[in-house]
Amino acid sequence: MSKIVECIPNFSVSKEKDFSAFQALVDTANSVPGCTLFDVQSDGNHNRCVFTILGSPEAIGEAAFRLAKKASEVIDLNKHRGQHPRMGATDVIPFVPQSKEVTLEECVELSRQVAKRIWDELRIPSFLYEESATREERRNLAACRKGEFEGMPEKLLQKDWEPDFGERKIHPTAGIIAIGARMPLIAFNINLDTSDVKIAKEIAKAIRGSSGGFKYCKALGIYLEDRGIAQVSMNMVNYEGTPLYYVYEMIKALADRYGVRIIGSELVGMTPAKALVDCAEYYLKLENFNCHDQVIEYHLIDANNPDEKGDAKLSSMKLEEFAKVLASDAPAPGGGSASALAGALGAALVSMVSALTVGKPKYADSQVLVRSTIEKANALQLQLITAVDQDTEAFNKVSAAFAMSKETEEEKESRSSAIQNGLACCTESALRIMELSCDVLSLANNLTGHFNTSASSDLGVSALMLKSALLGAWLNVKINIGSLKDRSLAVSFEEKGLSLLDMAVPIADRLYQEIENSL
């Protein structure tokens, strides 16, 4: 198994508050070869988004830098308001080892390299925290962030708070970043049926480790303005040392003292399966339970991944298996995943045509172009393959939302909100497929007159595949925006899709026609 590092950067912006800035960050994360954007969580109340990215150490380091750069360009903390504490446009960049080939020490070194580069090239200072901390008091993220963006200029002048990288002054709009290495963390929130945030703050104080509560729990009490309720927002830094059900039961008991009950909980970002299985084992009072032996999905994973390459995904299936799944009566995978696959095939053909041109004396003047095209096409191909799974995952979120209970008015409201968020995610996924296909078409177009003509038909098929990917993804955009209640968002999605079509479809048609005429 290759080296895999997880990076979970947090940004002081949300899809709900500033969609263009949010989308710019998503696009940046998806543009780095060698890593994959697995998950994006956005919260309008917190005015914050959390990315989950996995890849090689080198690719993850590059992605972290590019995202910090983009965040500094699109986020101005002088104008930012939200419930979650923050000190930077990119607020925190943690690196987590996710394969046995990567050590925590390697992640610590990666965090130092990234922090240095961010200062050298962007002039954004940083604190090193958790395992990367140079001082014990900086190990705790909350201690680093105390004072937030507004109070940080004064804090940096204090004796013990000189940045680990950078001068004693914040970036005027991007602030300062906490960068470090740590073991897996779970962002776990519990919502209460009260608008009194003082209750949530008292409960948070009682359960967090710094106040004498659970050792591996960090907690805040906040108010969710759009729902009119209080929330206990937590980071669980060691889910085995302090399991989720420990804090859930304690919050339940403390809330009862105030005549308050828990109305729901949520996970922000991705979480280890064992943390949830441990909860199931506790609440079901399972005896002699063996997670790996008794959970059928683990057996399926083992059967499909004998070389420990991870979960069985659409993108890892054999062609015959994928075709069978696509042909089933399940609503997903469907046209979106098929469109992404068509785009990936188009990118592969562009790379093939370029590879067949490399080293040919007849095309000596084209060597720099075709070698560059191979690298770019391969990167886009990987992103489109990833989109095969991401499109289905986005649709599954909508299906799950439709299955939510709708007996009470509150449940109806939560269900409606989840459906709308799911539809927006599906639309974003389809637009992403369109964007990637446009990028590949641009590469194909640049090859005109510079490629091995014995592969003309292959480039023509590439144009067809990419046009199919574009139009197929566009149909998914159309069907989703028709159900969006936020009409301004729907119009924005539609305008972006039409712009991509207007730009790319003529290129695909012209390229195909030129090749057909030449044969």
SS3 at position 279: helix
Helix, strand, coil percentages (3-state) for the chain, rounded to 5, are: 55, 15, 30
Q: Pick from 338, 315, 514, 331: which is nearest to 437 by CA? A: 338
- Cα–Cα dist 118/64, whole Å: 9
What secondary structure does DSSP assign to 41-98, as a single string? EEETTTTEEEEEEEE-HHHHHHHHHHHHHHHHHH--TTS---SS--SBSEEEEEEEE-
- Cα–Cα dist 301/310, whole Å: 7
Q: Which residues pair with 90 in a beta bridge?
A: 11
Helix 487-518 crosses helix 456-481 at what angle (to 10 degrees)?
Answer: 160
- The radius of gyration of the chain from alpha carbons, rounded to an integer in Å, stands at 25
Active site residue 84: yes
Q: How far is CA 41 from CA 245, 263, 268, 487, in A?
A: 23, 21, 6, 22
148 and 87 in contact (C-beta within 8 Å)? yes
Residue 287 CB neighbour total at 10 angstroms: 6
**Catalytic pick from 46, 80, 84, 171?**
84
Q: Which residues are within 8 A (CB) of 27 and not within 5 positions of it... i.e. 6 or more apart?
A: 435
Q: How far is CA 245 from CA 219, 278, 282, 291, in A?
A: 15, 8, 8, 17
Q: How far is CA 359 from CA 363, 370, 452, 454, 458, in A?
A: 8, 10, 10, 14, 19
DSSP letter (8 states) at residue 166: S
Active-site positions?
84
